[in-house]
Structure 1
Amino acid sequence: MRYGSFLAERQVADPIADLRDQIAQAVADGFSSAWLSHIFSLDALTALAVAGSQVPAIELGTSVVPVHPRHPAALAQQAMTANAALGGRLTLGVGLSHQPVIEAMFGYSFDRPGQYMREYLDILIPASRGEQVAYEGERLKAGLTLTTPGSGFPVLVAALGPRMLKLAGTVADGTVLWMTGPKTIAGHITPTITAAAAEAGREAPRIVCQLPLCVTDDPAAAVARANEIFEIYGQFPSYRAMLDREGAATPGDVAIVGDEDTVLAKLAELERAGVTDFVASVFANRDRTRTLLTGAAKG
């Protein structure tokens, strides 16, 4: 199992320089990848292209760029440009986001999201390879060929439900998870996406697992803190479904907390469940937690 670093968007005077320093620290700590969310602060692709181009030798990924606000060819063009700036080190993670975000904030329809993602990938993936695209779906259309440098990067899909996991395994390179525990990964995520990839004649998919993590001697307090920070994720239907599958009442119940031996045992459980890449969202006791993760990454 590879280890990645979750990049924080901190409120500082120069956020791009701060991001560059975090990526450099991830390299020094032995992480194989670094991942940036795309929410309502930095544009993830632009930020990674600028900051990451100053730091060599590490994969840089988005987790994840919402698909609705941009035409797939426009996103392909932007990602190809970022990949060119990074010397071919980009992994593009994309996702549907959530109905309240897409409808209330952006004003797009969230109707039939699975179909929308299928049509989106039908354009995005060939366009990002520089292939000619002549596509007319029910929701999306495209007729173009991009000559942008930087073609041919991996595409991961934020997939939790069976339909999205099958889609990710069939046409993409894997999935990016959040708020999904080891029992759910072992019993639902891994078998569904792996079977779809095998049926499509594709290589085994990447399963990038992101979870809150804290090394501590007071796990009850850490769970309570995780519930404060990540409370909203228990309210989104897609994450709620994963928590319910896991038997978790709250987001804190899937957080990885405990002393060093406990955390390492939980990480090993994730690896046995099929996780190929683990990315920790460290939310407390940062120095102690970083020491453990650095040791695990350097393995």
Structure 2
Amino acid sequence: MRVGLFLEADSLDTLRERVAGAAGDGFGSVWTSNIFGLDALTALAVVGSQIPGIELGTAVVPTYPRHPAALAQQALTADAALGGRLALGIGLSHQVVVEQMYGYSFDRPARHMKEYLDILLPLVRDGRVKYRGETLTANLALSTPRTGTLPVLIAALAPRMLRLAGAVADGTVLWMTGPKTVRDHVAPAVTAAAEEAGRDAPRIVCALPVCVTDDPAAARTRANEVFAVYGTLPSYRAMLDREGAAGPGDVALVGTEDDVREQIEALAAHGVTDFVAAEYGSRERTRALLKDLLPR
């Protein structure tokens, strides 16, 4: 299992510094979200082109605001700038964002994702597509240069989305999804879908808050404060409920070095291929433990 970092920054200079630090520490990947600050693909292309040797992933780019052909062109351009080191994570976002902020319909989101992938994946992989769905259409070819195979991962939690992640995409990227849910729900579903489709084993990228500390109760309380919004959004709330978690603090990986090491190693045993740490709290102590997990 590879270990990466989840990084956020409010400026390109700060992001560059943090990505450079992660690369210098030997982490295999860094991931950043696309919400209302920096555009993730643009920022990673600018910053990552100056820092070699580390995979750069989006977790995730929302689909609704961008036609899949436009996203394919942008992602391929960013991947070219990075020399083939981009991992494109995409997701539906949330009903409150899609309908109340962007003004799109959030009706039948799994249909939307299927149609989105039916356009995006051929363009990313072959450069051309001819497709007419119920809500999305495309008939075009791209001449954007390709530097290799660009992995496309989807934020998949519900059964239909997990089938898409395994059967047609390259895997899933998770957030606020605890170890029991990964073991009993996510990994079996996405792996079975890939096997049935005759595809390679999918990537399961699992991002969770991490804090190495001697006071786990305080760290869980702090996680509930820092990540409170994720306990209210329906898709994450469903995963927390499935886990039996009252809030984000209950899925955060907290405790001493030995405790957190054991929790991360359990994720590998449950099928996680890439663990992504969202450090909070005692960051220096947490980073030291994460570095100790890296291959030597």
Q: Within the alignment, does 1:147 sit opposite 2:133 as a pair?
A: no
Q: CA deviation at 1:298?
A: 3.5
- Partner AA of 2:5 in structure 1: S
Give the Cα–Cα distance (whole angstroms) in 2 for the partners of residues 231 and 90 of structure 1: 29
Q: What's 2:88 paired with? A: 92
1:169 lines up with 2:166 in the alignment: yes
Aligned residue for 2:35, secondary structure, equals: coil
Number of aligned residues: 295
- Report what 2:9 is aligned to: 9
What secondary structure does 1:188 align onto? helix
Superposition TM-score, scaled by structure 1 size: 0.97
Give the CA RMSD over aligned residues: 0.9
Pairing 1:23–2:8 present: no
Query: Which of 285, 289, 294 is the aligned partner of 1:292?
Result: 289
Measure, in 1, the Cα distance between the counterparts of 2:126 and 2:102: 29
| Amino acid paired to 2:283 | R
Which residue is 1:56 aligned to? Answer: 52
Deviates most, 142-151 or 280-289: 142-151
Amino acid at match of 1:21: E
Q: In structure 2, what residue type is equivalent to 1:221?
A: A
Alignment-derived partner of residue 266 in structure 1: 263
- Distance (whole Å) between structure 1 residues aligned to residue 174 and residue 228 of structure 2: 17
1:55 maps to amino acid: I
Report the CA distance between 1:6 and its aligned residue: 1.2
Listed as ranges, the matches of 1:93-132 within 5 Å are 93-132=89-128
CA distance in 2, matches of 1:257, 1:95: 27
Structure 2 runs not aligned, ≥5 long: none
Residue equivalent to 2:194:
197
What is the alpha-carbon distance in structure 1 between the residues aligned to residue 126 and residue 116 of structure 2? 16
Point out where structure 1 has 5 or more consecutive residues left out of the alignment: none
The answer to whether the Cα contact below 8 Å between 1:31 and 1:298 also exists between their aligned partners in 2 is no
In the alignment, residue 219 of structure 1 is paired with which amino acid?
P
2:238 equivalent in structure 1: 241
Deviation at 1:17, TM superposition (A): 2.2
Question: In percent, how many aligned pairs have the same letter?
Answer: 65
Alignment partner for residue 47 of structure 1, among 43, 47, 59?
43
| 2:9 partner amino acid | E
Offset of 1:264 from its aligned partner? 0.4
The letter for the 2-side match of 1:46 is T
Equivalent residue runs for 1:174-193 within 5 Å: 174-193=171-190
Q: Is the 8 A contact 1:130 1:147 kept in 2?
A: no
User: Which amino acid counterpart does residue 54 of structure 1 have in structure 2?
Assistant: Q
Amino acid at match of 1:61: G
The alpha-carbon deviation at position 276 of structure 1 amounts to: 0.5
SS in 2 for 1:297: coil
AA of the residue aligned to 1:275:
V
Separation in structure 2 between the aligned mates of residue 27 and residue 297 of structure 1, nearest angstrom: 12
Q: 1:226 aligns with which of 198, 217, 223?
A: 223
**Shift, 1:234, TM fit:** 0.8
TM-score by length of 2: 0.98
1:5 partner letter: L
Distance in 2 (CA, whole Å) between partners of 1:60 and 1:291 is 21
Partner in structure 1 of residue 132 of structure 2:
136
Q: How far 1:283 sits from its partner (Å)?
A: 1.2
How far, CA to CA, are the matches of 2:102 and 2:116 in structure 1? 17
In 2: Cα distance, 1:8 partner to 1:113 partner: 27
Aligned to 1:80: 76
**Does residue 215 in structure 1 map to residue 196 in structure 2?**
no
| C-alpha contact 1:29 1:298 (8 A) present in aligned 2 | no
Which secondary structure state, in structure 1, belongs to the residue aligned with residue 227 of structure 2?
A: helix
Cα displacement (A) at 1:132: 2.1
